[in-house]
Amino acid sequence: MYKLIWLKELKGELYTWKSTAWLLAASLLFSFTSYLLLTNKELTLLDQTELLWLLGKVIVGVGLLVVTIDASSIISSEFEQETAESLFLTPLALKDFLLGKLLAPLTLWILIYLISVPYIIVASAGSRLALPFMGHVFLLGTLCVLGFILMTFAIALLYRSSKNTLTTAFVILLAAAVPALFAATLKSGSVLTTVSKINPLDNVFSALDNVLVDYQISLGQNWQFYPPLIIFGLVMLGLLSAAARRFRQQGIIRNE
């Protein structure tokens, strides 16, 4: 059943040329970034490894933005357009509904990743970092994106409003992004060190730094960055199941 929901959402998101314009925009953004990084007089002063790190941040950042926006509306719109009631009159389990909805933004992330692959190959030419770069961006990005989708779904089930869900999810995404963008020297305090260890975005950026700048390319050399992302995903899964339980108790038409 979840496949039907997934395909229905994908059709809705990729059916018209207007709905796929964001793919073109993402591609233009990657083109602009990589062209500037490789040809701009001042930006080319960056070492190639730092340049790749910057490109990795842009890819994951664009993926998170697109996925957060999509996940914010994908569930809430069912309530706002009043289609949720008829949807749940069918023998559709909430689990299948959520899984189908989850696969749709995850597919968007895969599309963004696929678009970024040629840029990764071109930017890392000569460095032997192309494969580790691609592999780690995919693994780290997927884990981080998955956590944010689960979180956004939980918010959407609680709020049932696209606007509020989008605002809350965006604020959380920004809150995670701001300390992650600080230089390592600014993270010397104990509070910021702790925050950076549990912050999923910080772990993604630090892992990419470890792979691309420090040449620690194997999974074993980056093992410390993956558990926080997995824990983040599990915590968000717990939050979503709590929100789903509350949704079941309240029903589709909330009595407030």
Partner 1 sequence: MKYFFGLVSIILCYELWGAPAVLAQTAAAGPLLINISSSKTLSGTAGDYVTVLAGITNSSAGPVSNITTYLSLADESTKLPVDLEDWSAEKGLFIGNIDARQTLPLNWKIHFVTPGDYALIVVAEAAGQELPQTSAITHFHVNSKRNLNPGQVLPVALGMPIVILFAMTLLTYRRNSKLV
The distance of closest approach from Cβ of residue 102 to partner 1 in the complex, given in angstroms and rounded to an integer, is: 25
Among 214, 219, 227, 238, binds partner 1 (CB under 8 A): 214
Q: Is 185 in the site for partner 1 (CB under 8 A)?
A: yes
* No. of helices (H) and no. of strands (E), the chain: 11, 0
Helix 130-159, helix 94-123: angle, nearest 10: 150
Please list every residue from 100 through 129 that binds partner 1, using CB under 8 A.
Answer: 115, 118-119, 122-123, 125-127
53 touches 139 (CB < 8 A)? no
51 touches 18 (CB < 8 A)? no
Listed in sequence order, the residues at least 6 apart from 68 whose beta carbon sits closer than 8 Å to its beta carbon are 148, 152, 166, 169, 170, 173
The distance of closest approach from Cβ of residue 204 to partner 1 in the complex, given in angstroms and rounded to an integer, is: 17
Question: What is the C-alpha to C-alpha distance for residues 13 and 17, in angstroms, rounded to an integer?
Answer: 10
75: its two tokens? 């569930």
The distance of closest approach from Cβ of residue 164 to partner 1 in the complex, given in angstroms and rounded to an integer, is: 32
Among 4, 8, 12, 20, binds partner 1 (CB under 8 A): 20
Q: How many CB atoms lie within 10 A of CB 20?
A: 13
Q: How many chain residues touch partner 1 (CB under 8 A)?
A: 35
Q: What share of the chain is helix, strand, coil (3-state, %, to 5)?
A: 80, 0, 20
Q: Which among 21-29, 191-199, 228-236, 248-256 is the span making contact with partner 1, rule CB under 8 A?
A: 21-29
Question: Is the CB of 112 or the CB of 156 nearer to partner 1?
Answer: 112
Question: Is the CB of 9 or the CB of 209 nearer to partner 1?
Answer: 209
Q: How many CB atoms lie within 10 A of CB 19?
A: 12
Question: Is the CB of 115 or the CB of 155 nearer to partner 1?
Answer: 115
Among 39, 90, 249, 255, binds partner 1 (CB under 8 A): 39
Site string for partner 1, 49-88 (x = CB under 8 A): x---------------------------------------
The distance of closest approach from Cβ of residue 6 to partner 1 in the complex, given in angstroms and rounded to an integer, is: 19
Closest by CA to 232, choosing from 186, 195, 178, 181, is: 195
Q: Is 44 in the site for partner 1 (CB under 8 A)?
A: yes
32: its two tokens? 């602009």
6 touches 103 (CB < 8 A)? yes
Contact residues for partner 1, defined by CB under 8 A:
15-17, 20-21, 23-24, 27-28, 30-32, 34-35, 38-39, 44-45, 47-49, 115, 118-119, 122-123, 125-127, 184-185, 209, 213-215
